[in-house]
Amino acid sequence: MLMQNGRLARLHYLSGTFRVLSPGDHVLCAVTRQPIPLADLKYWSVERQEAYASAQASLEAEGKK
């Protein structure tokens, strides 16, 4: 759950991991715009440098290529 005073993080997505560029506690899903706590972040695209809230959102983004 996103905290009320949460801060948006800026990440660089790598294969199997990510690097924090600007500290924060969440990112936004590129498809749904839903906040994703960094501790729960499991899906992203290295190519597009986007985070996804779920596998379904990742598939939707893949279909928009």
> What is the tens place of the pLDDT at every residue in 6-47?
999 999 999 999 999 999 999 999 999 999 999 999 999 999
Instruction: Give first-to-last CA distance, the chain, whole Å.
Output: 30
Indicate whether 3 belongs to any domain.
Answer: no
The partner residues of 26 in beta bridges, in order of sequence, read 8, 37
Predicted local distance difference test score (pLDDT) of residue 64: 76
DSSP-derived letter for residue 42 is -
Q: How confident is the model at residue 5 (pLDDT cuts 50, 70, 90)?
A: low
- What pLDDT score was predicted for residue 60? 95
Stated pTM of the model: 0.87
* Distance in angstroms (rounded) separating the CA atoms of residues 61 and 30: 8
pLDDT for the residue numbered 65: 60
Quick one: tokens of 26? 């969440």
Structural domain including 20 reads 10-63
Q: Which of 15-19, 56-60, 61-65 has the lowest mean pLDDT?
A: 61-65
Number of independent structural domains in the chain: 1
Is residue 5 a part of any domain in this protein? no
